[in-house]
Amino acid sequence: MKKSPISLLVTCEHGGNEIPPRYRHLFKGHEALLKTHRGHDAGALVMAEEMAEAFKAPLFVSTVSRLLVDLNRSLGHPRLYSEATRTASKELRREILQAHYLPYRNQVEAAIQNEIEKGRRVVHISSHSFTPVLDGEVRNADIGLLYDSARAGEVELCLRWQAALRNNAPALKVRRNYPYTGKSDGFTAWLRKRFGAEVYVGVELEINQKLAGGKAWRELRRQLIASLQQALGS
């Protein structure tokens, strides 16, 4: 059976470390935390912007810090709120959800639904980055591609993307489902519950933050875009 035409969509849930003025009082004593890898995913926003531009794809980003509310966590997840916000009143936490979390997630979900209703298969790339060292452990990868191994479309795309990267940039260490697993709680995992494998392909792109902003950073972004184009056959 012929596959539906592809519609690419790009998101970035952790694009900045901004805290709206209304909630800054919650971060007294936590200001330094906002400047760490927990405050935002360094490099993820520019990667998302350039990828969306290259593919002429819809782009959805948030520059509000994940430490206010984590857009990549499901409702009820213990790390939905950070230590700065989880002790806030229920009313204030509900307000944060209504103002920042729900509008973002609902907008992306509606955009995916709209493309599916047009007869298209959505490929969703969620742009992230990871700290080179976590809890004393050095992460052994430059690029991670996270997906659900039970969904054939995601497996195929990530294998093709990894192969294209190996051809274009053999010095890069590209690993699949590392440093996290694609089935772990996240926005793509939630969207898989909403949309079937035949119409939705969700991949989290993870870039080692040691490469973001370095001398070869611009070339890395070009390589990631060019290899994804090859993987999609576009």
Give 133-183 pLDDT, tens digit per residue: 999 999 999 999 999 999 999 999 999 999 999 999 999 999 999 999 999
CA 192 to chain centre: 14
Task: Identify the sign of the CA torsion 201, 199, 233, 212.
Answer: negative
CA 14 to chain centre: 7
Instruction: Write down the pLDDT at residue 50.
Output: 98
Instruction: Write down the pLDDT at residue 89.
Output: 98
> Mean pLDDT across the stretch 180-209?
97
On the question of pLDDT at 3 being above 90, the answer is no
Q: Using a pLDDT cut of 70, give the percent of the chain over it.
A: 99
Instruction: Write down the pLDDT at residue 145.
Output: 98
On the question of pLDDT at 88 being above 90, the answer is yes
> Mean pLDDT across the stretch 123-136?
96
Instruction: Write down the pLDDT at residue 36.
Output: 95
CA atoms of 75 and 121, how far apart (whole Å)? 26
Instruction: Write down the pLDDT at residue 207.
Output: 98
Query: Radius of gyration of the chain from Cα atoms?
Result: 18
Instruction: Write down the pLDDT at residue 234.
Output: 72
On the question of pLDDT at 214 being above 90, the answer is no
Instruction: Write down the pLDDT at residue 215.
Output: 83
On the question of pLDDT at 30 being above 60, the answer is yes
CA atoms of 194 and 101, how far apart (whole Å)? 17
CA atoms of 66 and 108, how far apart (whole Å)? 17
Instruction: Write down the pLDDT at residue 1.
Output: 37
CB 205, CB 34: distance < 8 Å = no
Instruction: Report all structural domains of the chain as residue ranges with CATH numbers, in order of start.
Output: 6-232 (3.40.630.40)
On the question of pLDDT at 101 being above 50, the answer is yes
Confidence of residue 4 (pLDDT cuts 50, 70, 90): confident
On the question of pLDDT at 187 being above 60, the answer is yes
CA atoms of 205 and 12, how far apart (whole Å)? 10
Instruction: Write down the pLDDT at residue 87.
Output: 95
